[in-house]
Structure 1
Amino acid sequence: MTEVALPDQLLVVIDPVARRSDGESVRIAKDVLSAGAATKVCLPDGPEEFARALARRGSRRPVVVGDDRALLRAVSLLHRQRALGACAVSLVPVGGVLSLARSLGVPMGAVAAARAVLDGAERRMDLLVDDSDGVVVGALRIPSLPAPSPSPAGVPLAGDPAAVRPPWLRTCQSLVRTLASRPGRLVAAPGSAPARPSRPMRLRVEVDGALVVDLDQPVEAVSVTPGVLGGAEVVVRPVSVGAAVAPLRVVGRRVTVSGADFRYRADALVGGPVRTRTWVVWERAWGLTLPVR
């Protein structure tokens, strides 16, 4: 039987990335939390120790000090332990990747976030769970695939007639092209990369068993966001040829995407490649401690 976490007992798990990136904010968070509640502080050195600390939390309420990735790790581990219903997760955001924490309403300062842990209230939220038991807290996105990279200068692609030309001829031709192009050459700004065109994907998207788009309709992107009318909002952006094509928007509880191997971004993490994946909305599956409005 899972023990119910008590609000005045905290397990403070400090992610190693947070300790390295902003030790001062970590110290402040520890001081504020320790002054307001009975705390046990854990300093895991890696994912395995992080998981062990959460598994041995007992009746203590878990508080994660770290960035979005640390929060996602904690939610995923507690989901696999089927413990999300017994305790609310708290977060003191420290680190460089905090867009998810900000979108969820977590205060950004160490003092304000720690006080919200002590004085805030639990807010239950929906969760997307896939058929491999992976979770999505904020949003799922399937981006367009990058176009194949052009061959490096002087290196012909397989099947190119240049591949059978004598080496000396290819060298001369490359030198001529370089000299001819030098006057009109454009140099990219420091830190920038030339834009690469993307190629569309062919995916089959079904929501609650109803077909939204099939393989014969190329798409630019697919996004799935939980927490909309008790389900998830699915947005499919078809490829436009000439006139603009409006995105297709559907709300449902079960989303299946299939097609050629594709990768997907679940919050801050990238999954795949897979041929098919199904996500199901779990209503009010997890709780996050947030400031009282």
Structure 2
Amino acid sequence: MSDHDQLLVIVDPVARRSDGESVRIAKDVLSAGAEAKICLPDGPEEFSRALARRGSRRPVVLGDDRALLRTVALLHRERELADGALSLVPIGAPDALEVAHALGVPRSTPAAARVALHGAVRRLDLLVDDSDGVVLGDLLVPGVPVPVAAAPSVWGTCRSLVRTLVRPAPAAAPAALLRVEADGVLLADVDAPVEGLTVRPVGGTAEVTVHPSSAPARHATARTVTVSGPDFRYRADGRLTGPVRRRTWTVRAGAWGLTLPVEAA
């Protein structure tokens, strides 16, 4: 990347409230290396307007996975994902940055800011569903809610131990009745319960794995995956969606560009 790039630095409101010091460091690094316009939106609407008015400036988002997903979704909705690339400086709790780190974004704020200036663009696949929603990482069906862990403490540990002693462990999530089709090929039907389904975009296609309740896992590679059946939820990019009765996801190969370290791009 050229040091003379014009950047639009959008600071997600959550990042600004949760870690102002990391935001300051990122802004200093970016402003020292390029002509940077700093935007401080107060909410999703202002975030959207700032991105829409970026002109020729390259967007750099300071925030977590949700901020990255919001940016990709907005650009997809405007059919502008193919134009240029975006960068992310990850700011937030570790469990709110799992997607960003899995994609190769550095964990350190200064390192990620320097990558935004000097990194290389990598074209990444995208899962797009029939409601025009997007998925950056893995898709899990059914989406079983994951409890948020509280900060560790002696008292909290004692209470957890007592609860474990006096109550039985929670039962596993019930199997789901799902019909799963990969490029029209039937992998599972509603007459045979499944424990789960994973869809992962890799190399322009989706790796599909179905886990039946009483049979070995089934694997397939496809461009389109359709799931239907009684109301089900799915988890993608840290979000739980649903219930829905039918959803189709299609892989868009190399649909968006993310600036990553040169060795990872």
Q: TM-score range by the shorter chain?
A: 0.7 to 0.9
**Cα shift readout 1:70-89 (whole Å, capped 9, x = no counterpart):** 00000000000111111201
Choose from 192, 201, 226 the match for 2:201.
226
Secondary structure of the corresponding residue to residue 25 of structure 2? helix
Tell me, in whole angstroms, the C-alpha distance in 2 between the residues paired with 1:8 and 1:232.
34
Query: Could you tell me which of 53, 56, 65 is aligned with 1:68?
Result: 65
Identity level (%) = 63
1:209-257 deviation digits (Å, cap 9, x = unpaired): 11111111100111111124x20011111113xxxx3211111000000
Distance in 2, Cα, partners of 1:23 & 1:217? 51
Gaps of 5+ in 1: 1-5, 147-185
| Aligned partner of 1:290 among 250, 260, 264 | 260
Aligned residue runs from structure 1 range 144-293, under 5 A: 187-188=162-163, 194-228=169-203, 230-240=204-214, 245-293=215-263
Please list, as runs of the form range in 1=range in 2, the aligned pairs for 1:76-115 lying within 5 A after superposition.
76-96=73-93, 97-115=96-114
Q: Deviations over 1:74-109 (max 9, x none)?
A: 000000011111120100000011111110000011
Cα distance in 2 for residues equivalent to 1:126 and 1:7: 29
Residue 52 of structure 2 aligns with which residue?
A: 55
> Which sits farther off after the overlay, 265-274 or 63-72?
265-274
1:63–1:194 distance in 2 versus 1, CA, 3 Å = same
Residue deviations 1:8-57 (CA, integer Å, cap 9, x gap): 01000000111111111100000000000011111111111111111111
Q: Which residue of 2 aligns with 1:140?
A: 139
Q: Which structure has the larger Rg?
A: 1
Report the TM-score when normalising by structure 1: 0.79
Q: SS at 2:112's partner residue?
A: helix
Which segments of 5 or more consecutive residues in structure 2 lack a partner in the other structure? 146-160
In structure 2, the residue matched to 1:19 is 16
Tell me by how many angstroms 1:195 deviates.
Answer: 1.4
Give the whole-Å Cα distance in 1 for the aligned partners of 2:12 and 2:216: 42
**Pair 1:69–1:193, CA change in 2 (3 A):** farther
**Equivalent residue letter for 1:227:** V
Instruction: Number of aligned residue pairs: give it.
Output: 243
How far, CA to CA, are the matches of 1:114 and 1:55 in structure 2?
22
Give the distance between the partners of 1:122 and 1:266, measured in 2 at CA: 24
Report the TM-score when normalising by structure 2.
0.87
Residue deviations 1:231-286, cap 9 Å, x none? 0011111113xxxx321111100000000011111212221111100000111000
The SS at the match of 1:202 is coil
1:188 match: secondary structure: helix
**8 Å CA contact retained: 1:224, 1:234:** yes
Shift of 1:138: 0.6
Secondary structure class of the residue paired with 2:259: strand
Give the AA of the match of 1:275. R
Offset of residue 144 of structure 1 = 6.4
Asked if structure 2 preserves the Cα contact closer than 8 Å seen for 1:202 and 1:259, the reply is yes
SS of corresponding position for 1:220? strand
1:277 and 1:204 mapped to 2: Cα distance? 11
Whole-angstrom CA distance in 2 between matches of 1:189 and 1:9: 56
Distance of 1:70 and 1:193 partners within structure 2: 38
